[in-house]
Amino acid sequence: MKPRRPGRGARLPEAGAASDPTARGEAHARLDPLVGLWDTSTRLFGGLGTRPVEVDGSVEKHWVLGGRFIREDLAGISNRDRPYMGLGFLGFDAARGLYQSVWMSTGSTGVTTACGALDDAGTTLTLVGDEADPVSGIVRRFHAVLRIESPARHVLTQSYVGPDGRFGPGFEIVYTRSPAPE
């Protein structure tokens, strides 16, 4: 008999399920504020002296695989005025004790991964990874900081290491919870 796949909004296992190290735990539950439908406003930063490009979009984030990972589906318009789609996953690796992220989009043919930690307050997730620039192919280190400001808003900022070895801004996405459909 084939197992049934729960639909979106299915009841998730209790956080911290007994002694099963593969179960959804408290570290996963701390990501619950990210789940939902969101409107996004993105600022893309270019080089020095250039104005940021602003684009809007929407995101749906929901738990998958028994509440172990958040799947993020993004749709918007790129800075080149073309449709932009992204697919990401965020979860907590209990074996390694860190949060992990995977991201793919129509802006690249590569897969970006990052890992990091959530602060004690549960409001700031800091991730570090490496990403190949889709134009130059140069691999560059990045820091991503996700701030959960309220149940209705969170902000992701990502900075990249420049040629001088210092971090400079790459982009900022403001997520505002979409109004509930009537």
pLDDT string in tens for the chain (182-residue length)? 444 444 454 444 444 445 688 899 999 999 999 999 999 999 988 766 678 888 899 999 999 999 999 999 999 877 677 888 999 999 999 999 999 999 999 988 999 999 999 999 999 999 999 998 888 888 999 999 999 999 999 999 999 998 888 888 899 999 999 987 76
Number of residues in the chain: 182
Instruction: Convert 3-21 to b/e letters by CB count within 10 Å (16 or more is b).
Output: eeeeeeeeebeeeeeeeee
> For the domain 26-177, what is the CATH code?
2.40.128.20
pTM across the whole model: 0.84
Measured in degrees and rounded to the nearest 5, phi and psi for residue 108 equal -165, 165
Token pair recorded at residue 54: 């602003």
- At 27, give phi and psi (nearest 5°): -65, -35
* Angle made by CA atoms 81, 84, 88, in degrees to the nearest 5: 155
